[in-house]
Structure 1
Amino acid sequence: MAQEIEHTHLPIRGLNLHVAQVGKDELGTVVFLHGFPEIWYTWRHQMLAVAAAGYRAIAPDSRGYGLSDQPPEDEVATWENLVADVLGILDALSIPKAFMVGKDFGAMPAYDFALRHPDRTRGVMCLGIPFSPVPITIDTMPEGFYILRWREPGRAEADFGRHDVRRVVRTIYILFSRSEIPVADEGQEIMDLADLSTPLPPWFTEEDLDAYAALYEKSGFRYPLQIPYRGLHRMTKHGDAKFQVPVFMVMGEKDYCFKFPGFEDAMRSGIMNTFAPDLKITYIPEGTHFVQEQFPDQVNDLLLGFLKDHP
């Protein structure tokens, strides 16, 4: 795989962004946007699958993540920056239109890009996060809820700083692959919810962990904590949103995010259809938060079906 996927840095809006890509663009381009604690590598299975089917796969490390540059210390982290970065990548590579595929917080700029730039979007597929016209509500969650903890300046840094990067990524992958929302007890931090005796998920190898840890050794966690956790209140509001492109939502039914306030209702009530007239939703019964790594063949089949249905 490492021999097939090419890596480059593109000068985008004052930063050098790392972009992984593979494929010849015979049928079009697919842009993959990762979540936390992910990097381009989270899409390795999907990139090779779409390339084999005749598409060009592009997966950037989001600004401040992996091998991409860190923004200036005084820059306010905004979601609009992520959308503008995607547009900059398409322009730099002379790609007129592309499919957007987003996962976790990467779903938000994928949805936003499709709304802002329908003329540059062929369709949008998102994993784990339904579209919401307003920022999600988390203030009703317990005090130990991981997002409430991690949005506090300095708290996650102190928690993570007790361990090496590999241990931090390992713990997050263990916690986020469960069906229960990570919540710490009083006097406990999120990193205390798993230890080295807790096994990795069976679909996530030590070699995979090495790949993630190597890139977080470069980027650290300071900026990744800004987007998404400390920038949720700055999410773009789309009260009158209307997607002009097809939207495909894939949700693992064992994904802990399914238990976030309003998530299941947003997906099962049909409310997303009011924003996305051409909407399809598929549930993967045993799928967790990292469904694209847990069940790559199933997700690849769904993705390729979506691409082929919208030539």
Structure 2
Amino acid sequence: MIDVNGIRLHIAEQGSGPLVVLLHGFPESWHSWHHQFGPLADAGYRVVAPDQRGYGRSDHPDEVDAYTILHLVGDVVGLIRALGEDKAFVVGHDWGAPVAWHTALLRPDMVRGVAGLSVPPPFRGTQPPLAAMEKRFDGRFYWNYFNRPGVADAEFARDVRTTLRKFFYAASGSARSDGKVVQPLIEHGHGWLEKLPDPEVLPEWFTEEDLDALTESFSGGFTGALNWYRNLDRNWELTAAWQNATVTPPALYMYGDRDLVPAFPGTPELIAKLPHLMPNLWRDPIELAGCGHWTQQERPNEVNTALLEFLKAHS
């Protein structure tokens, strides 16, 4: 447990050497990086993965506006300092990726290199994202569903283990073997979970022990994690000063070809342009065949190989 930015964060740590901070996404915990600890530590790196604010054993502030992107970047900056370092490699998946990208954007002096899995670098749009998706999908996009106070919180907390089992299977490459990726829409008057498949057998990359660890980390509910989504428009307002700014530290981006996030409106076009938009993008974006949303868990060997090559090239 480490005091950081006015809160306490729970971290997992292994190894010594240049610091690598691993940032999980939704609905996850530090455990989502368990395949990365050994290989990165054995290669000579100090690997640290926090439960980010609102998750697991870390603090869960009550106020919705305590989960802005500036708070989340502040946690990473504070964590690097609390660990006695001035710089770090920052790697993020899902929601952890925007935190990693924004840490590199706002504090490039502290970032040796940045890697994002699933979610590409932040290029600020011309209108608030929640409002844009509300208009585009008539309020059915999952961001808007998550933004209704108490609604998703209650649905997901009814049976935490079933919620997580459905989430992880439905967004995985295992459930998308036909290669079709559809927009995550929730019909008015319905919940999200009711239409998600509930597998009789988990994919081999996601064990019952993994599900046990994840279920325990959400024993306090989902509200803290959902509050990240409730700040999407606020984040858009807070980052106005960085309109058209680019991430300048060395950068790596990886995603699965069956992941729903890279198929969001406008994202395929953004990914295609990244080599021209990112001055220090290391290699073209890496697409992992047959991989769904849970990148570092579904394809640990490929992710570890790419990360280690990237870290070595910029250590």
- 1:98–1:123 Cα contact (<8 Å) kept: yes
Cα offset, 1:292, TM superposition: 0.6
| Structure 1 residues 266 and 206, CA gap change in structure 2 (3 angstroms) | same
Cα offset, 1:19, TM superposition: 0.8
Count of residue pairs the alignment pairs up:
297
Cα offset, 1:125, TM superposition: 0.6
Correspondences of 1:171-250 after superposition (within 5 Å): 171-177=166-172, 178=176, 179-194=181-196, 196-217=198-219, 219-227=220-228, 229-235=229-235, 236-237=239-240, 238-250=242-254
Q: Following the alignment from structure 1 to structure 2, what is the Cα–Cα distance between the partners of residues 194 and 72?
A: 29
Q: Following the alignment from structure 2 to structure 1, what is the Cα–Cα distance between the partners of residues 32 and 254?
A: 16
Structure 1 match to 2:276: 273
TM-score normalised by length of structure 1: 0.89
Indicate which of 31, 51, 62 corresponds to 1:61: 51
Indicate which of 113, 120, 127 corresponds to 2:110: 120
Cα offset, 1:199, TM superposition: 4.0
- In structure 1, stretches of 5+ residues that fail to align are 1-8
Q: Which moved more, 1:229-238 or 1:113-122?
A: 229-238
Cα offset, 1:97, TM superposition: 1.1
Paired letter, 1:117: R
- In structure 2, stretches of 5+ residues that fail to align are none
- 1:22–1:47 Cα contact (<8 Å) kept: yes
- 2:102–2:122 Cα contact (<8 Å) kept: no
Structure 2 match to 1:33: 23
Q: Following the alignment from structure 2 to structure 1, what is the Cα–Cα distance between the partners of residues 188 and 286?
A: 37
Q: Following the alignment from structure 1 to structure 2, what is the Cα–Cα distance between the partners of residues 195 and 275?
A: 38
Higher helix share: 2
Q: Following the alignment from structure 1 to structure 2, what is the Cα–Cα distance between the partners of residues 44 and 17?
A: 18
Q: Following the alignment from structure 2 to structure 1, what is the Cα–Cα distance between the partners of residues 198 and 258?
A: 23
Q: Following the alignment from structure 2 to structure 1, what is the Cα–Cα distance between the partners of residues 160 and 226?
A: 14
Paired letter, 2:230: R
- 1:10–1:16 Cα contact (<8 Å) kept: yes
Describe the SS at the equivalent of 1:172. helix
| Structure 1 residues 74 and 105, CA gap change in structure 2 (3 angstroms) | closer
Deviations 1:106-153 (A, max 9, x none): 111111111221121110010011113215552313543322211111
Describe the SS at the equivalent of 2:212. helix
Describe the SS at the equivalent of 1:124. strand
Q: Structure 1 vs Structure 2: percent identity of aligned residues?
A: 37
Cα offset, 1:272, TM superposition: 5.7
Indicate which of 159, 166, 175 corresponds to 1:164: 159
Note the aligned Cα RMSD (angstroms): 1.9
- 1:175–1:193 Cα contact (<8 Å) kept: no
| Structure 1 residues 97 and 145, CA gap change in structure 2 (3 angstroms) | same
TM-score normalised by length of structure 2: 0.88
- 1:181–1:256 Cα contact (<8 Å) kept: yes
Counterpart check, 1:252 vs 2:256: yes
Q: Following the alignment from structure 1 to structure 2, what is the Cα–Cα distance between the partners of residues 49 and 138?
A: 39
Deviations 1:188-236 (A, max 9, x none): 311102354554333211110000001111x311111001x21111223
Q: Following the alignment from structure 1 to structure 2, what is the Cα–Cα distance between the partners of residues 273 and 190?
A: 37
Paired letter, 1:158: A
Paired letter, 1:209: L
Paired letter, 2:6: G
Counterpart check, 1:22 vs 2:14: yes
Correspondences of 1:30-179 after superposition (within 5 Å): 30-73=20-63, 75-134=65-124, 136=129, 137-139=132-134, 140-141=136-137, 143-161=139-157, 163-177=158-172, 178=176, 179=181
Cα offset, 1:39, TM superposition: 0.6
Cα offset, 1:74, TM superposition: 6.6
Describe the SS at the equivalent of 2:95. helix
Describe the SS at the equivalent of 1:86. helix
Cα offset, 1:277, TM superposition: 3.7
- 1:173–1:200 Cα contact (<8 Å) kept: no
